[in-house]
Amino acid sequence: MVIFGPAVDVRPLFPREREAMVELLGALGPADWARPTVCPGWDVHDVVGHVLNDFMRRLSGGRDGYGGAVFADDETLPAYLARVNEEFVRASRQLSPQLMIELLDHLGPRLDAMWAARDLLAPAGLNVSWAATDLDSPTWLDIGREYTEFWVHQQQVRDAVSIPGATEPGLMAPVLDIFARALPYTLRTHDRPEGTTTHLEVAGPAGGRWGAVRQGGRWRMAEPTGEPAARVSMDQDTFWRLATRGVTVEQARERSTVSGDPELTTAVTALLAVVA
């Protein structure tokens, strides 16, 4: 769908990202698994447990058609996810690091096979709420969202143990590209004349340029051409951390350069690409 921009196929990247994650985890000592991460209340072991939960949840629902989700009364999706994620992480604390690594190795290829069988342009099994709430998401965006999830959690582990990596453009650039697809939803409350454009520029080897245009009564992804009504520039590290709230909106704004329509630049510097 045009609103989301051109399709991005991240499926070949899952084995590469997972290989980097498994190699990282295999190099950690016992004390490293207990190091705190940016996720409140979670250490490295907990973040890995959460990734395993993602693997099993998507295989159970997407491959096996098992609908085991049970919402509490009046529970919102963010509240449900927060609750079940915490429940699984607590349960996974009884698992050894070695077993968790083996499970990642075992389940990962099965998840890869599930994605490989999907039609990228078909409606997604799970909509990407941070990209749109009134339209069906395409499958490529759903799969891309999962890739960003795994990559970000790997970076959170790396930050916790002070081991950089997996930021080469081949692995990181698609993360930034998928996150940028949140632009139309980010701007949704700002009505502007037809043809008004906003540009986002992300500096760095994995960075790029993206645009959104007001067209047909809504914002849509567009090529960043011409002179925009608003422009926001930031570096690649700031952008992915802003999109996942690894830095605050205020911190991201301090690290950004903006020009043009202040309401639009304020919106872009609050871009969010996770469920919260």
| pLDDT by position in tens, the chain (length 276) | 579 999 999 999 999 999 999 999 999 999 999 999 999 999 999 999 999 999 999 999 999 999 877 787 788 878 888 899 999 999 999 999 999 999 999 999 999 999 999 999 999 988 999 999 999 999 999 999 999 999 999 999 999 999 999 999 999 999 999 999 999 999 999 999 999 999 999 999 999 999 999 999 999 999 999 999 999 999 999 999 999 999 999 999 999 999 999 999 999 999 999 986
Residues 73 and 205 in one domain: no
pTM, entire model: 0.96
Which domain CATH number covers 197? 3.30.1050.10
How many CB atoms are located within 10 Å of the residue 54 CB? 17
Q: What is the dihedral of CA 40, 237, 23, 145, to 10 degrees?
A: 70
Provide the H-helix boundaries in 59-136: 77-92, 97-116
DSSP type of residue 257: E
Pairing of strands 230-235, 197-203: parallel
Number of domains in the chain: 2
Nearest to 52 by CA among 10, 2, 94, 16: 94
H or E element that contains 259 = strand 257-260
Residues 36 and 160 in one domain: yes
Report yes or no on 171 lying in a domain: no
DSSP letter string, 23-72? HHHHT--HHHHT-B-SSTT-BHHHHHHHHHHHHHHHIIIIIT------PP
